Structure 1
Amino acid sequence: MLKFIPARFEVEEHRRHVYTCRECAKHDDGIDIKIPFIRAAMPNTLIPGSFTTPELVAAIINAKYVCAMPLARQQQEFERYNVAISRQDDVQLVTALRRRLLFASLSADAGNHAHSRYFTWG
């Protein structure tokens, strides 16, 4: 038997607690001192400042380049699942990822082909 389970979206929440020194705060007598605080780091993302997870990026890139699905059609598919991802967000995501992958490949090849020229087409 083969069972099909449709795609689903899950929201990941990352909560960061901020800790301060209570003793330092008690001794603040109106003097402008900096009270130290500690905050946990956020998990790394593929694209800094992005809301996407690696799974979502993989799905968008797979649909665009493997299944030949334009970003406009992907946006309509997201809307069917009540997920609001604009086409502009998709374009920025794909562009940022292409730049990052291109930079990584050029950096890796820089030592091998010092006098080579690279041309890219968008």
Structure 2
Amino acid sequence: IPAKVKVIENIRLKYSCQHCEKSGTQPNIKQASVPSSPIPKGYATPSLLSQIITSKYQYALPLYRQETMFKQHGIEISRRTMSDWMMKCGALFKPLHQRLREIQLSQPVIQADETTVKVINDERAKSYIWVYCSGADSPASSNVAFKGIPIMRNIVLFDYQNGSRSGACPLKFLGDFNGYLQTDGYAAYQKVNAELVGCWAHARRKFIEAQT
């Protein structure tokens, strides 16, 4: 069964006092309020926005491809419009991101890494996405503790930096975090206040390289 896209039409009735109109009195006009929307004065429903966000960030489906997919359903939504929606949704998610960051920074252990990301129409040679992870090895673990401190469920947060891979990036994100920070040994992490610990996967890699 093919996916379906439906247009929801909201009819806002407007009422006025006929007696006031006939008598020349200023009528008191009442109109139904606009249904609440994640984006003020926008026509995108929460389900549509979640569909676009999930397709783009979870399944790496670019907006121009989603634009083509919507056209196959007879719906005209430009990538420029969807891009504007994504930026406005990003503003909506800031309180959630901030709360998750507060919880993450209260954890005893955080893993960090960074990787390059290509940005269209950006003059910089490279931009970077920094990732910060906390939690147990399994999302189902609820009674895991590190040195007596309970470990919360997994949290993964991303921090985009314009062309920068300096130590100021993790220092700005981590702030006064003084727990254990597990990294790949990149020198930029030495500027943070955390206690640095190594990564067994990277250590194992050196033994494999030496063996081969």
Q: Same fold (TM over 0.5)?
A: yes
Q: What per-residue deviation string (whole Å, max 9, x for no partner) do you get for residues 15-63 of structure 1?
A: 01100111111111xxxx6321111112101111111111111110110
Distance 1:104 1:22, change over 3 A: farther
Distance 1:35 1:69, change over 3 A: same
Matched residue, 1:49: 41
Q: How many residues align?
A: 108
2: CA distance, partners of 1:50 / 1:63: 20
> Does 2:77 align with 1:85?
yes
| Larger-Rg structure | 2
Matched residue, 2:9: 13
Q: How does 1:41-120 map to 2 (within 5 A)?
A: 41-106=33-98, 108=99, 120=159
CA-atom RMSD in angstroms: 2.5
Q: Deviation above 3 Å: which 4+ runs of structure 1?
A: 103-106
Q: Which has the higher strand share?
A: 2
Unaligned runs of 5+ in 2: 106-157, 162-212
Unaligned runs of 5+ in 1: 114-118
Q: Which has the higher helix share?
A: 1
Match of 1:121, SS? Answer: strand
Match of 2:160, SS? Answer: coil
Relative contact order, higher structure (CA 8 A, sep 6+): 1
After TM superposition, give the deviation of residue 103 of structure 1 in Å: 4.3
Q: 32, 35, 39: which is aligned to 2:31?
A: 39
2: CA distance, partners of 1:36 / 1:74: 45
Quick one: percent identity of the two aligned structures? 29
